[in-house]
Amino acid sequence: MTVPEAIAAFGSLLEPASPVPEDEGSCYFVFPHGIAGTASFMIVEGRVARIDIDGAGLFTEAGVGVGSTEADVLKAYAGRATVEPHPYTAPEGHYIAIAPERERGAIFETDGTRVLSFRVGRADAVRWIEGCL
């Protein structure tokens, strides 16, 4: 969806936290009311590519979120979840990748026990470790 469509669906103004440089205009993040916080929306070529959740209180449609256990995620996404070493915090930290469904997927970042953050959206975009490429 486009940013105006995301604003209508989310029910809140979504804006960058700071001006987006012209050379980065094809990929940037917007935040509720332009304030970086728990939720951020990655915009690629004018459309929402993924949503990142970095704090408690927001959950997936399966009912898991920040603070859920790895077991909760594996149960909620049984048959679709794969535990992988976290690229930066392994061996303790993990990625729990949810197999794409209709080209959409998710990654839950954990400390080996609990979810620290997660992102959902286009299967390619959720794999971008550093955000916008």
pLDDT of residue 133: 67
pLDDT per position as a tens digit, 43-53 = 999 999 999 99
Q: Does domain 3-126 have CATH number 3.40.50.12280?
A: no
Q: Per-residue pLDDT for 12 more than 70? A: yes
Say what the alpha-carbon torsion angle 111, 16, 56, 118 is, to the nearest 10 degrees: -40
* Per-domain residue ranges of the chain: 3-126
The average pLDDT across 35-50 equals 94
Closest CA to 40 of 10, 72, 5, 60: 10
